[in-house]
Structure 1
Amino acid sequence: MEQVQEHEAPSMTETAHGFPQPLVIGREPRVISQPGPLPAVRRPDTEIDGAALPGLEVRAASIRGDAHRYYGTVRQDAMGLWHDGDRTLLACVADGLGSKEGSHVGAATACEVAQAYLSTLPIAPDHVTDARDFVDGIAGEIRNRADERGMPPEELSTTFLAARVQEMPEASVHRAVLVRVGDCMAWHLHRGVWTPCFGEDDADTGVSTSATHALPQDIEHAEVGYADLYPGDMLLLCTDGLAKPMRGPQVSSQLASWWSRPPSLPEFFWQMSFRAKTHDDDRTAVCIWRV
Structure 2
Amino acid sequence: MPIRVPKELPAIKVLEKEKIFVMDEDRAMHQDIRPLEILILNLMPKKDETEVQLLRLLSNTPLQINVDFLHMSSHDAKNTSIDHLKRFYHQFKEVKDKFYDGLIITGAPIEQLRFEEVDYWEELQEIFKWSKTHVFSTFHICWGAQAGLYYHHKINKYSLDQKLSGIFAHDVLTPTWSILKGFDDVFFAPHSRYTGVKKSDIDQTESLEVLVESEEAGLFLVGNKNNRAFYAMGHLEYDRETLQQEFERDQHKGIEPKLPKNYFPNNNRSEVPQLRWHMAASLLFSNWLNYAVYQNTPYDLTDLLEVGKY
Is this a same-fold pair by TM over 0.5?
A: no
Higher RCO structure (Cα 8 Å, ≥6 apart): 1
Q: Under a length normalisation based on structure 1, what TM-score does the superposition of the two structures give? A: 0.33
Q: Under a length normalisation based on structure 2, what TM-score does the superposition of the two structures give? A: 0.31
